[in-house]
Chain A
């Protein structure tokens, strides 16, 4: 009985700790609809150096990747996105192929995350989600490494310049502690 009482108290601490932290946080605000409105803690248009390169590439790959074969909508959207990189046709084709592989693997990870979302009360779920999120980061890194090996030096430099100067300026990081 004492053991159960202790465990109950410990669980209570967790909840209290969680709720107290929630009340003390400084970077989030209650939204009018009762949800938490996350604030911008890093604005890439003002401090692009605070946006990590790997994060910027992950966003860029997600935005530009299309399935193989792409739908008409994906193809049109991708053409618009890649147009301003001014890559050679060979480099652009290499990039498109690399992005298609990225998309296929990203879909698998996102599907797995979707399945886990249905198990949100399972204590093991947060650990599994963290693992899958790490897989996404690794996938992005692997895609970048592969592109740097297969694109020309000029193409890789153009891509890098675009991501560092343009993409970062369009990223914000939201959040803060709870």
Chain B
């Protein structure tokens, strides 16, 4: 029974991530400069954001192509070179816009959950 529950959770997470992952990455990089493994470790510290390497890197590549993040290779001391990502101005703007939409969505969904039938909801504009 427990496994079925977990399975459902995971399916839900995957579905939700499809639309929200870009926001998640942009938010993770807000005022931070991180390389891929650091982004991955950061996301894995959250219950619902355990994405794979195979999802993360192509997405970072696309965000870079879209001009939302920039990337530079850096080498510190004896460590191997790493590719560090940060938000561009355009990325910050997009994060602001998408954040507002996200909050609106959460508010709307939450409202519906809080107001089950049979009582009717007063619709806007009526």
Bound together: no
Please give the residue numbers on chain A whose beta carbons come within 8 Å of chain B beta carbons, in ascending order. Answer: none
Please give the residue numbers on chain B whose beta carbons come within 8 Å of chain A beta carbons, in ascending order. Answer: none
